[in-house]
Homo-oligomer: A and B are copies of this chain.
Amino acid sequence: MTQSTAVEPAFDRLLQVAVEVFAECGFREATVREICSRANVNVASVNYYFRSKEALYAQALAFAFREANRLYPLDAILDKGLPAEQRLTMFIGNFLHKLLDDSHLGLHSKLIAREIADPTKALDEIIETAIVPQFVLLVEIIQQILGASAEKLVVQRCLLSIFGQCLMFKHSRSIIDRLYPELIADESAIQASAEHIAQFSLAALARFAQQ
């Protein structure tokens, strides 16, 4: 027992701290020394347990995904028995809370958003395991609302319209913090913002469905 705080094995501490630091700084700006320092392990540990900084990053991403699915399960939204409008509202609420969760375990979205905005080699796997399933789910919901006759391109553009509204709160967080902080001040404000996006999108989709 070299470390008094070492209740968890070094490997696990390293992985958790890595998610934190990579989320804060991004892959390139994060340093192995900072990660090791926070995890109370020697600098050489990263290369001992994980082969390299890059391999640690890949494992940290995978770990963050597992946590995201554990904390924000999509179960209810997958229920095809519910009305599509309700499922869309639930989806947006779930997604926005996921994006704006600043708790110690909510760093995964920051990590993922970083990877999207500034891709590394790990992006392709992320798209496959995290993005595509969400896209597939939302495409299904949109198609249900627009009807079977909806063009594929229209469905895709509506998908981007909805995701774009949500992601605005993550990617442009720095602007919202400065100009409209009251929109994400607390839990109820976030909920209200989610409901706005749902209403805005449902209104637009309803018009598209008429045509």
The answer to whether residues A180 and B160 also contact, given A26-B118, A117-B117, A203-B208 and a CB cut-off of 8 A, is yes
- Main secondary structure on chain A at its contact with chain B? helix
Question: How many copies of the polypeptide does the oligomer hold?
Answer: 2
Q: Bound complex: CA of A118 vs CA of B174, how far in Å?
A: 8
Given A167-B164, A203-B203, A204-B203, do A156 and B180 touch, yes or no (CB 8 Å)? yes
A119 sits at the interface (CB 8 A) = yes
Task: Indicate whether A196 sits within 8 Å of B28 (C-beta atoms), given known contacts A163-B168, A171-B171, A179-B135.
Answer: no
**A195 CB, nearest partner CB in chain B, Å:** 10
A40 interface residue per 8 A CB criterion: no
Whether A104 sits at the interface, judged by CB under 8 Å, is no
Q: What B residues does A135 contact at CB under 8 A?
A: 179
Q: Which residues of B contact A171 (CB under 8 A)?
A: 116-117, 167, 171-172
